[in-house]
Amino acid sequence: MKIAVCLQIIQPRDGTSHFAMQLGQMLADAGHDVTMVAEQVRSLELRNSTPGLSYITIHQHRWESKSRHIYRIGDIFHEQYFQVVFICAGLPVPDLERAFALLPDGTALVPILGSDREHVYEPTQRTAALWNVAVAESPRLQRTIHARLPEKPVRLLTTGIKHPSDAELAERLPLSVPLRLLFVGRLAGGKNVLMLPKVLAACIRRGLSSTLTICGYGQERGPLEQACHDEGVAHLVEFPEIPFQAGLYRAYRSHHVSLLLDYQVFNSLKLHFYISKMVLV
């Protein structure tokens, strides 16, 4: 089967890129002809780590009008004649979305929902007449989009996530002291990363010996380091160079708790210490 996986950008240290590339690799390993369709391809490392995939870039040329860009993307879909086109929902490439109306009749369009955010749900709803079936990366996303579009089929898709082997699971750090906390993500926006030092400080105040490892990049790195000093926990915090995916999995296995910070709860003045989800790894 000829399959396309569409996303905005292929770059390291980006969750959507890794999910899309792993999904493409798994489909290719199953014998399918897979092409990654992206506005930009910035990472040779990711390309080299996923043999067997083809690549097409669809960025708009400086001399190209918007309408011409849309039709050029449509021409690519007709020339390639993909049987299935996966699209990472929430993709901020409006010309690509408009080009989906030009897909051949024999092509199935499948949006992938990978984040519980309105900028993912809204375009999925807006383009509901164009796609055949949606897939969600978690049961919560599946329930949410099904509630919004009960007439459309929504399936659960977890195959874009590499499952650990028995040997890798055996490497997991047993529960011990100090408790090793881990945060992985961009240091920006709604990640609410400036609360990380407060979480660690609250653990220390409660007599729980703990350390914190922060893997991420972003404009809040400087303020975050200052917040660690302000809370008096800078000596317990590490900012390692974030590894590629294999190294990142090892980082998860060498920590006890992965922190996911809930934006709305942390912005409530009534609660000063809250961990929305604690996932033992």
Ordered by where they begin, the domains of the chain are 2-156 (3.40.50.2000), 166-280 (3.40.50.2000)
pTM given for the model: 0.67
83 burial (CB, 10 Å; 0-12 / 13-18 / 19+) is middle
Show the tokens assigned to 60.
């708009």
Closest CA to 51 of 28, 18, 76, 80: 28
Residue 165 is predicted with a pLDDT of 79
Rg (CA), the chain: 21
Average pLDDT per consecutive 10 residues, the chain (281 residues; last block may be shorter): 90 73 87 91 68 86 89 92 90 76 90 86 89 89 93 81 76 88 82 89 93 89 94 94 73 88 47 38 34
For 119-144, the pLDDT digits (tens) are: 889 889 988 988 999 999 888 899 99
Q: What does the pLDDT read at residue 4? A: 94
- Residue-by-residue DSSP string for 137-152: SSHHHHHHHHHH-TTS
The per-residue pLDDT for 233 is 96
- Using an 8 Å Cβ cutoff, are 69 and 95 in contact? yes
**What is the pLDDT at residue 147?**
94
Report yes or no: 91 and 68 within 8 Å, Cβ to Cβ: no
Predicted pLDDT at 11? 74
Helix (H) or strand (E) holding 80: helix 66-80
Which tokens sit at 235?
Answer: 């000596």
State the pLDDT at residue 245.
Answer: 65
The interaxial angle of helices 118-126 and 139-148, nearest 10 deg, is 40
Backbone φ/ψ region at 189: left (φ over 0), alpha (ψ -120 to 50), beta = left
Q: Determine the pLDDT at residue 280.
A: 35
